[in-house]
Amino acid sequence: MSRRVVLRSGAIVAGVAALGTAAPASAAPAAFAHGVASGDPLPDRVILWTRVTPAPEATPGSGSGPDTEVRWEIATDEGFRAVTASGSVTATAAADHTVKVDATGLDPDTTYFYRFTAVESGAASATGRTRTAPDDGASLARLRLGVVSCANWEDGFFSAYRHLAARTDLDAIVHLGDYLYEYASGEYAPDSGPVRRHAPLRETVTLTDYRIRHGEYKTDPDLQALHARLPWIVTWDDHEFANDAWSGGAENHDPVTEGPWGARVAAARRAYLEWMPVRVAGAEPRLYRRLRFGDLAELSMLDLRSYRSAQVRLGPGLREIDDPARSITGAEQMAWLNAGITSSATRWQLVGNSVMISPLLIPPLDTRTTAAVTELLGIPAAGVPVNPDQWDGYSADRRRLLEAIASAGRRNVVFLTGDIHTSWACDVPVDAAAYPAGGSVATELVVASVTSQNIDDLLGAAPRTSSPGIEAAVRNLNRHVRYVELDSHGFGVLDVTPDAVQMDWMYVLDRADPATAARHGASMRVTAGSARVEPTAPLDAVVR
């Protein structure tokens, strides 16, 4: 059973639409039709991104169009009277005419404005706004982040991005994966049909396909506005490649009809690194990386797809979940993560985590008293997981990480998670069956999807009709789950201070309405040193 089957709870997937190669709206020869973006802010530098369309035929994925010189500038004022750095780069068809610059020599904790100009035509891009990180040793009183994941184009409009772009209190956006979806048009859409159609219409498999799909997403006005407003810190999950991806394949990949998995991964990875404002380096660039915000917080962004073992499917063989040789991170990334968390010099250790680490078990079992039964039944020692695509399917890796956190005496580790299209706040225990007496070593805050389907959508039920009973059952079985909401779409606002970390869940009213309003859903607070989430009052806006 894949994650989609688990989420749908027996609902039927919509039929696949006919294949096609429709070009996105950006086919018009506007010079900078895909907007501007920035990302991965450090104290002295930030990534700047755009794409130029030098000729009508130079659409995303076309491989057509002339080389084009593009000038970039970054300044401390919106009028560009005080230009701090500038340069030029050649946009080529080989890189899908994308432009990515690591602008260096900047001042820490400073707001900048940036723009691009096509040298030959003189056409200028929109002006973007970004911000550098504070110096590593700076004493920081507050960090405030927008947190998002799971934006399926066909499921609705990206109003969550519009509401985040309207705020004046954020330092950056953290995107936890599923920035886009690979499905053919109609394959993973509302029962009433897609709110808007994918390009290309077929499933993305080739480099051309993935480039077209990235180009489609970057024509969305709300996505463009949020990229232009703030720097983004991103990681991928599975749908940037294919559903339930792992190091050697995916649930949504057929080598017979779609070719070798390695070729598809290479195509998806290349398109992602071309189109996203992310900093990677080296012959085999790795996406997992760490960013620091003064003495207040470090943010470790994980890659939980490139190195993982194959998922164990629900059914016979489920006990393989406990195999210590299985990994969700790979050995090198796990060592990097452990070392970073346990040696961190900051108050808080935040982990950008694409799939849930908190146990969701039916039910959590005491391994000391149920070992004989679980061995006889052939089920995992800690209990049957709801979704083995999450950390639940890699129990040895999770235990290694949580025990390292506990042994180091760290009490301020907070996992920020997406993927599951629903909202959760959890204490993270080493042993779920022993909670609450056994305590917890970390906490987890999970954001809802921007648009991707959740329980009421998949069951075809009115919001808040079927889900409250499911939520109560989940909390009764898994007592470390402190908040769960299964129906809403939206975003999170994460507030980090020396005293506490708080998440506000904000929900849009109607994902099919491009002008929809948003409402406050819930607020949960983690007091420093507690490793426990508690309900609290909503944040007040803070203008920087």
Residue 541, pLDDT score: 65
d(CA 440, CA 332): 26
Per-residue model confidence (pLDDT) at position 310: 97
Q: pTM (2 decimals)? A: 0.93
In a domain, 153, yes or no: yes
Cα(172)–Cα(41) distance, integer angstroms: 9
Q: What angle do CA 188, 194, 200 make, to 5 degrees?
A: 75
Question: What does the pLDDT look like over 365-405, one tens digit per residue?
Answer: 888 888 887 887 888 999 999 999 999 999 999 999 999 99
| Chain segment 195-233, per-residue pLDDT in tens | 999 999 999 999 999 999 999 999 999 999 999 999 999
Query: What is the Cα–Cα distance from 189 to 241, expressed in whole angstroms?
Result: 18
Residue 218 placed within a domain? yes
**DSSP 8-class letter at 5:** H
Q: What is the spatial distance between Cα 97 and Cα 70, in angstroms, rounded to a whole number?
A: 10
Question: Structurally, how many domains does the chain consist of?
Answer: 1
Does residue 540 form part of some domain?
Answer: no
Instruction: Using only the alpha carbons of the chain, give its radius of gyration.
Output: 23
Residue 311 belongs to domain spanning: 3-535
**In this structure, is residue 543 part of a structural domain?**
no
Select from 449, 465, 437, 502 the least CA-distant residue to 188.
449
CB neighbour list of residue 521: distance below 8 Å, 6 or more residues apart: 423, 485, 488, 490, 504, 505, 506, 507
Measured distance between the N- and C-terminal CA atoms of the chain, rounded to whole angstroms: 47
> pLDDT truncated to tens, each residue of the chain (544 aa)?
344 433 433 332 222 222 233 334 444 456 999 999 999 999 999 999 999 999 999 999 999 999 999 999 999 999 999 999 999 999 999 999 999 999 999 999 999 999 999 999 999 999 999 999 999 999 999 999 999 999 999 999 999 999 999 999 999 999 999 999 999 999 999 888 999 999 999 999 999 999 999 999 999 999 999 999 999 999 999 999 999 999 999 999 999 999 999 999 999 999 999 999 999 977 778 999 999 999 999 999 999 999 999 999 877 789 999 999 999 999 999 999 999 999 999 999 999 999 999 999 998 988 888 888 788 788 899 999 999 999 999 999 999 999 999 999 999 999 999 999 999 999 999 999 999 999 999 999 999 999 999 998 888 888 888 899 999 999 999 999 999 999 999 999 999 999 999 999 999 999 999 999 999 999 999 999 999 999 999 998 654 4
Phi, psi for residue 384 in degrees, rounded to 5 = -85, 125
The pLDDT, as a whole number, for residue 542 is: 57
Joined together, the tokens standing for residue 256 give 């017979």
Give the pair of three-digit tokens for residue 440: 């917890």
State the Cα–Cα distance between residues 282 and 304, nearest whole angstrom: 19
* 541 within domain boundaries: no
Residue 375 belongs to some domain of the structure: yes
Q: Provide the CATH number for the domain around residue 60.
A: 3.60.21.70
CA distance 492 to 174: 10
Strand runs labelled E in 364-499: 384-385, 413-417, 423-428, 442-446, 481-485, 489-496
Whether 215 is covered by a domain: the verdict is: yes
Residues in a beta bridge with 233:
174
